[in-house]
Structure 1
C-alpha cells in the first residue's frame, strides 16, 4: 500500500469509528487490545464510557426532572463535540502507529496529513526510540485536552450557555466532571476536577485517572470490566453491580440520541499558539480518596431526592 492509499485507509477507519460514543469506545478498546503498550487508548475508552453515561443521564429518569430539555440538549452537544474532536485527532495517530509496527519503520510524517500537532509528531518519534509508555500516555493527555480548549471550552456558545451556567457551576453536586472506573465487584474508583474549563486542571485529572487505572493492584479488575461489559451508554452497565438494580434508569445511548454530523475546525495548531509547559509531564498530585463507592451511592440518592422534590413542586404548581 502506497502512502496515499494508506492516508485514505486511515481517514476511512477514523470516520467509521467516529460515528457516536458507542463506536468511539469500541474502537479505543479494540485498539488497546491490539497494542497494550499504548496505554492512552484504554484511558480514552474509560473516559468515553463516562461520557456516554453522562449523555444518557440527560434522558434518564432523574436528570430529566432537574434540567430543562433545551439545556440538556446543549449539554449533550458539548459532550459529543468534545469527544468527536478528540477521536478525530487521536485515532489517526493510533492508526499511524499501528501501520508503523506493520511496516517496521516510523511513519509519523503522515500525521501532518491529519492536522496533528507537531508536538505529537515529536512525541511519537521519541516513543518509537525510547519505548517510554508513560511519557507517551501523558503526551496524549496533554495534546487532546489542548485540542478541545478553543473549539469547545472557549467556544462562545458553550462557554456562555454551559460552562458559565448555574447547573454546571454546581457540577460537584451533579458530578459532571468526575471520571469513574467501575469493577465487576461493585466497587468504584475515580477522581474529579473542580475547574473543568482550565486545561491544566483537565490534564491533572487525566494523569490522576491514568495513575489509578494502571495501579497494579486495581488494573486487572478494570480490564475485566471492559472485557465483560458491553458499553451501552446507560449507567446500568455498572450500577447493576453496585446497586443491585434490576432495571435501567437511563436509556441506551443509540435509542436516546441521534448521530451528529461534525466538521473539524480549520485553525492554527494549539502548540503553535502556546508553549508546552514542563509541569504537564509531572506526576499527578493524588489529593483525594480514589475509592468512591460510598460517595457515589450517597450522591445518587441526593440527586434522586432533589429530582423528586422538583417534580412535586411542578405538579402542585400545575394543580394550582
Structure 2
C-alpha cells in the first residue's frame, strides 16, 4: 500500500490562495476599533505628515528606517529611487531645462513629480510605522491597515512577512502596491495626462534623464536602469524588480551603495553624486550660455560646471490635497509578479546616461523648440 504525503503549500501559493479569496469577497467596510487603536493610528498619521514635507525629508526618512529595520528592503529601494525623483525636480530649475521649458511647463512637471512622491510616502510610511509598533508590542497589528487606507493586498503581504520573513516577496509586493496605487491617482489622472504625460512624452523619453534611475556608489560609479514606457504599469513593476536585482543581488555592490547613501545626504542636487560635473551654486556669468562643455562625461578644459540646485533652493514645500480613496486590488493575478524570476543584473548605465546629458546640452544650446 502506498501512502501519499500531502505536499505543503509554498508561501507564494498561500499568498495566491488568500488573495484569490479576497478578490472574490471584497471587504464591505471597516471593522470597528478601540479608542486606543484610533489613538495609535492618529500618531502614525502625524509622524508620517512630519516627514512628508518634501522630497528631501521623505528620502531621508526611508534611509533612516532601513538602517533601523534592514529586513524592510523596500525602504532602501525607495530611498534610492526617491533620490532620482529629487534630481528630476531640481533639473526643472537647473541650467539646461530652464532654456527648454517655460515656467508654466516646469511647474506642471514639478507638480506631477511631487504628487507622486507625496502619495507613495503617505501610503507606505504608515505601513512601516505599524510594523515598527507590531515589533514593539510583539504582536502583529496589520488588521489596522485598512483604517490607514492601505490596500487589502498589503494586509495579506504583511501577515505573510510576519511569519515567513521573505524579504524578496515583501519588497516586490510593495513595488506592486505603490505603482498600482499611483496608476489612477497620478498616471491616469486626466489633468496630468493633458498637461504632462501627453505633452512631454517624446521629451521624457528622448531628451531628459527623467527615465534613467541612477544608483551611485563608490568613486563616481553608477549603476541603474532605464524605463522606456513610463505610462505602462506592467513596465514600471518589471523595472522595480530589475532595480531590486541591481540593488540587492550583488552583495558587494549593495554594500557600496549603502555606504555611499549614508555618507552623502540627499539634497536633490546632482552634485551629490557627480560634483565634477554639477554644482549647487551657479558658476560663470549670469545670462551667458557657454559653448558645449561635455565630452564623454567630462568637462572640456576651462568649462564651468552645470548648475544643479538643491531642492530647498529650487522649489517651495507644497501642501497636498488628501489622497483619493479606493483600493486598487481586484485580481489575484498580480501575485505572478512575486515570482523571483530576475537574475542578477549588472546595471551598467554610465555610458547611456552620459549620452543623454550630451543630447540635453546640445538641445539647450541650440534652443530647439522640441515640444511645439
Q: Same fold (TM over 0.5)?
A: yes
* Counterpart-to-counterpart distance in 1, 2:159 and 2:105: 43
* Counterpart-to-counterpart distance in 1, 2:163 and 2:218: 37
Deviation at 1:254, TM superposition (A): 1.0
Is the counterpart of residue 54 in structure 1 residue 88 in structure 2? yes
Is the counterpart of residue 18 in structure 1 residue 76 in structure 2? no
Is the counterpart of residue 281 in structure 1 residue 315 in structure 2? no
Summarize the alignment of residues 39-188 of structure 1 with structure 2, pairs less than 5 Å apart: 39-168=73-202, 170-188=204-222
Deviation at 1:247, TM superposition (A): 5.2
1:223 is matched with: 258
Q: Is the deviation greater in 281-290 or in 114-123? A: 281-290
Deviation at 1:168, TM superposition (A): 4.5
User: 1:77-130 CA distances to partner (integer Å, 9 max, x unpaired)?
Assistant: 101001111001000000000111111110111111110011000100000011
From 304, 310, 315, the equivalent of 2:367 is: 310
Instruction: Tell me if structure 1 keeps the 8 A contact 2:83–2:266.
Output: yes
Is the counterpart of residue 300 in structure 1 residue 357 in structure 2? yes
Relative to structure 1, the CA distance from residue 113 to residue 241 in structure 2 (aligned partners, 3 Å threshold; closer, same or farther) is farther
Instruction: Tell me if structure 2 keeps the 8 A contact 1:50–1:180.
Output: yes
Instruction: Tell me if structure 1 keeps the 8 A contact 2:212–2:353.
Output: no
Is the counterpart of residue 251 in structure 1 residue 285 in structure 2? no
Instruction: Tell me if structure 1 keeps the 8 A contact 2:48–2:126.
Output: yes
**SS in structure 1 of the partner of residue 180 of structure 2:** helix
Q: Name stretches of at least 5 consecutive residues in structure 2 with no aligned partner.
A: 1-34, 278-296
* Counterpart-to-counterpart distance in 2, 1:73 and 1:270: 28
* Counterpart-to-counterpart distance in 1, 2:206 and 2:164: 40
From 244, 267, 270, the equivalent of 2:325 is: 267
* Counterpart-to-counterpart distance in 2, 1:286 and 1:71: 39
Instruction: Tell me if structure 2 keeps the 8 A contact 1:39–1:137.
Output: yes
Q: Is the deviation greater in 245-254 or in 143-152? A: 245-254
Q: Is the deviation greater in 187-196 or in 27-36? A: 187-196
Is the counterpart of residue 237 in structure 1 residue 295 in structure 2? no
TM-score (norm: length of structure 2)? 0.79
TM-score (norm: length of structure 1)? 0.91
* Counterpart-to-counterpart distance in 1, 2:344 and 2:244: 14
Instruction: Tell me if structure 1 keeps the 8 A contact 2:209–2:357.
Output: no
Instruction: Tell me if structure 1 keeps the 8 A contact 2:245–2:344.
Output: no
Relative to structure 1, the CA distance from residue 172 to residue 207 in structure 2 (aligned partners, 3 Å threshold; closer, same or farther) is farther
Larger Rg: 2
* Counterpart-to-counterpart distance in 2, 1:286 and 1:197: 25
Q: CA RMSD in A?
A: 2.2
Deviation at 1:8, TM superposition (A): 1.6
2:225 is matched with: 191
* Counterpart-to-counterpart distance in 2, 1:172 and 1:278: 33
